[in-house]
Amino acid sequence: MGPEVTLRDATPEDVPAVLRFVRDLAEYERLLHEVTAAEADFQDLLFGPNALAFAALAEIEGRAVGGVFWYYSVSTFSGRPKLFVEDVFVEPGHRGAGIGLALFRHVARKALARDCSGMEWRVLNWNAPAIGFYRRIGAEPVTDWTTQRLSPDALRNLAS
């Protein structure tokens, strides 16, 4: 049996760890060049007066080794919130020890506590290990919908 893993909601002091996990995930996904966020951005996003998101950390012996980042959206069809997992990351050396499962269980409990109609996230098509894990926990792919995105330039153009 390995060392004990502790899960807890992030605090303002954890912002450096949250940003580290975002950068580590972006590097794994080959998207590090897209990360422009700074600690101040996460401080505001998670703990500012108009906080919009949440984070939790998995720790071993007081050191963060994984994290999950989520927010709530709505299901107009059910008239209830949905929990959207934006990012989940476990350091490579700690994968396979149940930390990812513990993080997903943590946010599933948050979703149930808020009476959410469901929980969703995205995964890159090439990420076979993650897709396999998601199938094992009961997730099903949504194939009838395609994600659409406006880049910052397209967003400004649309707004003007």
Q: What is this structure's pTM? A: 0.92
Q: Are strands 5-9 and 54-60 parallel, antiparallel or unpaired?
A: antiparallel
What is the homologous superfamily of the domain 5-159 according to CATH? Gcn5-related N-acetyltransferase (GNAT) (3.40.630.30)
Of the residues 28, 71, 72, 134, which is catalytic?
A: 134
Specify whether 134 is catalytic.
yes
In the prediction, which pLDDT does 47 show? 98
61 φψ region: left (φ > 0), alpha (ψ -120 to 50), beta (else): left
Task: Give domain limits for the chain.
Answer: 5-159
Task: For residue range 13-42, list pLDDT tens digits in order.
Answer: 999 999 999 999 999 999 999 999 999 999
Cα 2 to chain center, whole Å? 25
The tokens of 35 are what? Answer: 């990360």
